[in-house]
Amino acid sequence: MGDQKDSANEAWRDRLSAEQFHVCREKGTERPFSGKYVHNKEPGQYRCACCGELLFDAAAKFDSGTGWPSFWEVAAQGKVRLLEDNSHGMQRIEVSCANCDAHLGHIFPDGPPPTGQRYCINSLALNFEPQARD
- What is the set of active-site residues? 120
- For the chain, the 3-state helix, strand and coil shares in percent, each to the nearest 5, are 25, 30, 45
Query: Cβ distance 119 to 105 under 8 Å?
Result: yes
Q: Give the separation between CA 76 and CA 56, rounded to whole angstroms.
A: 8
Q: Reply yes or no: is the peptide bond before residue 32 cis, omega within 30 of 0.
A: no
Query: Cβ distance 69 to 57 under 8 Å?
Result: no
